[in-house]
Structure 1
């Protein structure tokens, strides 16, 4: 698989206003979350366009690669933060969908729906769109055996979704005086955590049953640092949902120091 561009953690946007221009541009080009339900030929074309520097401005070589970046073919970049952030999430989803179509998956229909809801929730949040229903078609059985690509695409999506969690949690903390926005942000964070859990389940769905390598991302550390502020900022019911999503992620990825301590 070709290198996957991901923002340096320090460049992850904090406010939805910083994503609105990029989101609107992608909608106008037909390259928003709706592309994830498009026919495969359109998805392949969308991936090529999203990865093009002619569409998304990015600056290579930002920061130092970590061991897990090298393992999963990730290149940290700067540039158009909103464009890189949103296109990276969509590219990661498109790679997962392609792998699932070729290899099949044992991920349940409910979990698949949870996985695919997060990008729609993100675009809804950024563009203030009304929520609508969605149709999810689970992948067929597949005929190929691509365990390396499966693990890599699942892990890449997991890391991209954890940046989305970071974005949403930053919104919770920064919007404490705006109760509707706080609830919207924590709801998005919860949706992305749930989707990140499914992404890890997908990465493990190779038949071997071996545990994932231990990776403590900067997003883990950030959430651990912010968990008390989230608890103080949001209604109890919303926080309980957020905490339950963290515990579920902990069940799948028990080696994470954040999830052991923060849940």
Structure 2
């Protein structure tokens, strides 16, 4: 069946982000999430500060600077919370390197779903459900692995999820977890790989996707997502994804679970 040219798609399902489309001319960037990148037809090129990869699928650990060139071919990108079962398993147990090749049967299923969507054999909703269900099945394997995250860190992450558009001071969060500020900061970074401040920025950035269809201007979106202004929001967005928000939102369709 003929493959249909399709606009880029951005899916948001809980704390998992999925991008399906072409990636060209993006800047070096890094983010909190574990990134799983999968080619659909042809290999993509991934550049880090030290290496160049030409691959079908890779795992990128949190806070690793990289730039992706899909060579005008569609790719499937998962951004996973490293504190989740799947994110923890991928980031901690399947690769010891900042960027690692990834070849699992699960990848074949995800690639198959993507091809079905490109051929218009399934719609976007079915595609997202298939990806989430497949990830849940893979998650069963993840739960068998040792998943050690300090309960206080996990509680703080859940607290931030409930208050994504508020600025929760470090002092307040540390007190909530019955820890000193220095002890909490150390524990938080040890278990998440990122500072408490950067985590808050990431949580607010991800929550901003929910506002794209509800706000009229970038300034309005930035303020409602908890950023001081559109310049701060745009800077954080580009540092995390390699694109300005206008580029991402104007060239993509955003869908939710």
The reply to whether TM is greater than 0.5 is no
Between Structure 1 and Structure 2, the one with more helix by share is 1
Between Structure 1 and Structure 2, the one with more strand by share is 2
Structure with larger Rg? 2
Q: Which has the higher contact order (CA 8 A, sep 6+)?
A: 2
